[in-house]
Structure 1
Amino acid sequence: MLILVVTFFILVVTLLILVVTFFILVVTLFILVVTILILVVTILILVVTFFILVVSFLVLVVTLFISVVALHT
């Protein structure tokens, strides 16, 4: 009877450890996914910023070119 109770207790503890381990794995995966999402968003923001910079530079160059042409004529 005592051996049965001890065996059952060990089984319950093992199951608990398994559940906790699984929970930790899920949390770790969630953190990984969130980190990857943040990285992707950061890269997107960087690309958009760079694109805006390039467009601004192009507008500046065009404006300068137009002003130079206007002055020459």
Structure 2
Amino acid sequence: MKSIGVKQFRDKASHYIGSNEILAIKKHQKVVGFYIPIQESTEIEIQEAFSKLSATVNNALAESGLSEDELSKAFDLSKKED
């Protein structure tokens, strides 16, 4: 996954929207969001995908005993690896 700044995403949005690359969007070196391209889908398919994602996150929270904030920090891509 590629990380880019908000300004770069804004300036080249049409390029990124036309690609199939997943992006982590950063502001001041902190990930503030993701761009995940999808193939042409119906609204129902998109809602089903979000429902599955929500269920997966809720299961991860329940099984791990972590809070949402702790789980978010575990996946913080702005941290430098040692």
Q: TM-score, structure 1 length as denominator?
A: 0.33
- The higher-RCO structure (CA 8 Å, 6+ apart) is 2
Structure whose residues are more often strand by fraction:
2
Structure whose residues are more often helix by fraction:
1
Rg larger in structure: 1
Q: TM-score, structure 2 length as denominator?
A: 0.30
